[in-house]
Structure 1
Amino acid sequence: MVKLTEEMKSALTGLLFLATSSKDGIPNVAPMGANQFVGDKLVISDNFMKKTLENVKENPVVAINLLNCREHPYQYKGKAEIVTSGEYFEKAKELNAVKIPGINAKGALVITITSIYSIKPGAEAGNLIETDD
């Protein structure tokens, strides 16, 4: 299992950009703002997802990046699962009630982070930092 620092976890609960791809390799990147960790899983509320869900159904591999990459110079890769019931869905609904009242979660993406890469400018760019393999 990939070891995320508390700083990494905290950064991933703010605005992030989630990249997905269809089975044919057509990419999609979407901003996500209703995110939280439940244990070691990143849970993202599904409020308006369309293309993201279509892609995850075809190809569960995702990449995550943050807007503020100078302070947080990492790219995360992982596997996503769509849930519409159970603990993670309930957590998504609770988060929405706090972060975006009036918007009901349709479901949630549950992401297991499988690797972390450096995106720090310079010689470290692209280096694998952590993997679960």
Structure 2
Amino acid sequence: MLIQLIYASRSSRVLGPADVKDILGASQRNNTRAGITGALCLNNGIFLQLLEGDRAAVNALYHRLLKDGRHRDTAVLDMSEIPCRRFTGWSMGLIASLESNRQLFLKYSGTADFDPYSMSAVTLRSFFDEILQNVRWLE
């Protein structure tokens, strides 16, 4: 059974560009092996990630993330069964907080700061839908 899991966590420390590159590279390698696809957003020290794949594989990955010292305040924001993958071309795509895509983050946030913890499941799904429809956001 395919599922989609959206979770958020806060970075336990300040991450530099090399840290983000390492996280993304490891995610892409590991997710390819596990058959997991999705997208990772990083904004103001908050990770927002959509994972899709086999229920057991996604569940195992999420439990590994809970033990990862780079994450704190980890929370599942949405989980649902899906009929098919939507991020088929991405073992893990990165949407970083850049001035050029600030509008995307603000469009779905109720405050001036992007806060996925306060977003509904419908809003989160819409956010990721827009990412898929507007590849230009991905820089």
What interval of TM-score do these two structures reach, taking the shorter chain for normalisation?
A: 0.3 to 0.5
Structure whose residues are more often strand by fraction? 1
Normalising by structure 2, we get a TM-score of 0.35
Structure whose residues are more often helix by fraction? 2
Higher relative CO (CA 8 A, sep ≥ 6), structure 1 or 2?
A: 2
Normalising by structure 1, we get a TM-score of 0.37
